Structure 1
Amino acid sequence: MRIGELAKLSGLAPSRIRFYEASGLIKSVTRKANGYRDYAPEAAAMLQLITGAQAAGFSLDEIRQLLPMNANGWQHEALLGALKRKVEEIEVVQQRLAQNKAQLLRVIDGIEGKPEGVACADNAQLLLNRLQDEREKAVH
């Protein structure tokens, strides 16, 4: 199939497909006599794997190391290890995001629940002091 058809099928720009080819992520294809690239049907599946892996947080170098050179070349242990490490990385990010969210919600509550008669600047200082105390307690 030509690159335009592969682009439409994969949802990727032809330039992105050529980039993946130049980067060694998909097999280089020979050009026909008319100069057109002719991609095998499995190129669409490989592009789907690549974009899915990128969406999951894998770098192009990580993807390159994990992709097989042929359909029978999957390195199961390396792939399984990389997938488990990525899940662990995602869990760390999720924990950090949950902590950030909780802190933001406390700030929102502090702003919305500003005591009557307390100036905004004074309330902001109280909130900053409270956040600093929480950070110091978390460290110790």
Structure 2
Amino acid sequence: MKIGELARQSGLNASRIRFYEARGLLHAVVRGENGYRSYPPEALQVLRIITGAQRAGFSLEEIRKLIPADLSNWDQEELLQALRRKVTDIAAMEEQLRQSRAEIERLLVVIAARPPDMTCNDNARRVLSEVR
């Protein structure tokens, strides 16, 4: 299949497909004598795996390491380990976000507690002294 057809079926730009190929994510691409790329039918499946994995938070490097050159030759244990690591990473990010949210909510309370007779500049100094 030519790149235009693959782009149409995948919903990706041809430049994005070439980018994935250059990054070692798309294998078995054959160039004809005319220089045109020809992609095997499973290239569409690979592109769906790549875009799905990106939406799930995997980097292109992580995806490159996981996708075998031959899609019928997946290493199940390696895939499971990568998915478990990603779940752990997401849990750590969630905890960091929870802490960040709590800090911002605390700052909101401190800033909003400005006495009516205090100027904004004095309130900023008060808040900064409490944050330190």
- Normalization by structure 2: what TM-score? 0.85
Cα contact 1:110–1:127 (8 A) shared by 2:
yes
> Equivalent residue of 2:87, what SS?
helix
Runs of 4+ in 1 over 6 A off after TM superposition: none
- Structure 2 distance, partners of 1:80, 1:125, is 51
Alignment of 1:99-114 (within 5 A): 99-114=99-114
Partner of 1:62: 62
| SS state at 1:62 partner | helix
1:46 CA displacement: 0.5
Which residue matches 1:44?
44
Counterparts of 1:42 and 1:117, CA distance in 2:
70
CA distance in 1, matches of 2:63, 2:80: 13
**CA contact 2:28–2:40 (8 Å) conserved in 1:** no
Residue 21 of structure 2 is aligned to residue 12 of structure 1: no
Q: Which has the higher contact order (CA 8 A, sep 6+)?
A: 2
Which position in structure 1 is the counterpart of 2:86?
86
Which of 43-52 and 22-31 deviates more? 22-31
What one-letter code is carried by the residue in structure 2 that aligns with 1:41?
A: P
- Per-residue CA deviation, residues 22-63 of structure 1 (Å, 9 max, x unaligned), is 222111322345543222222111111112222323222221
The answer (yes or no) to whether the contact 1:26–1:43 under 8 Å persists in 2 is yes
Rounded to whole Å, the distance in 1 between the matches of 2:115 and 2:60 is: 52
Could you state the TM-score of these two structures normalised by the residue count of structure 1? 0.81
- The answer on whether the counterparts of 2:3 and 2:38 sit within 8 Å (CA) in structure 1 is yes
**1:48 is matched by which residue type in structure 2?**
R
Query: C-alpha distance in 2, partners of 1:123/1:106?
Result: 15
Percent identity, aligned pairs only, is: 50
Q: Which runs of 5+ in 1 are unaligned?
A: 133-140
1:71 aligns with 2:63: no
| 1:99 Cα deviation after fit | 1.3
Q: Is the 8 A contact 1:10 1:44 kept in 2?
A: yes
Determine the structure 2 residue equivalent to 1:2: 2
Which ranges in structure 2 are unaligned for 5 or more consecutive residues? none
* Deviating more after overlay: 101-110 vs 45-54: 101-110
